[in-house]
């Protein structure tokens, strides 16, 4: 079965540093998302992306965050200046149709020291 792939699986960074989390969504999918999960807590929506633009973002997704689809396959999340509270598992997801099921990647565990 096709899957969403994320790299790296773990990322450790110093507070204030920039990180880029990478995702390759399923190839024929049109909708892309980033979610995050702080250890032991619920999965939280960050941003959705469709037709090369952000379609919705949460209050978590402030000016420090940005997303990009630099080519036909990758979908990236950039955090410009990481904070301790950004430590979480970041999941990329994609779906082929609006309102359909999300396929999640296996996540990138981000640790900000």
Interface residues toward other proteins, by CB under 8 A: 31, 33, 41-45, 48, 50-51, 55-56, 58, 91, 95, 97-107
- Closest CB 55 distance from other proteins, rounded Å: 4
Closer by beta carbon to other proteins, 56 or else 68: 56
CA separation for the pair 72, 52 (Å, rounded): 10
Closer by beta carbon to other proteins, 14 or else 101: 101
- Closest CB 27 distance from other proteins, rounded Å: 18
Bond before 8 cis per omega within 30 degrees: yes
Closer by beta carbon to other proteins, 66 or else 106: 106
How many of the other CB atoms lie within 10 Å of CB of 21? 23
Closer by beta carbon to other proteins, 6 or else 82: 6
- Closest CB 42 distance from other proteins, rounded Å: 5
CA separation for the pair 104, 74 (Å, rounded): 15
């Amino acid at each position: 079965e096709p899957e969403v792939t994320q790299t790296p699986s773990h990322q450790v960074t110093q507070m204030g540093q920039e990180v880029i989390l990478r995702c390759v969504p399923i190839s024929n999918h049109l909708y892309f998302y980033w979610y995050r999960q702080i250890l032991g807590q619920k999965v939280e929506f960050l941003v959705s992306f469709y037709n090369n633009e952000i379609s919705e973002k949460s209050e978590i997704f402030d000016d420090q965050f940005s997303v990009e689809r630099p080519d036909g396959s990758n979908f990236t999340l950039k955090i410009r200046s990481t904070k301790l509270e950004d430590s979480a598992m970041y999941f990329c997801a994609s779906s082929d149709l609006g309102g359909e099921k999300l396929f999640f990647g296996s996540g990138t565990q981000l640790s900000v020291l």
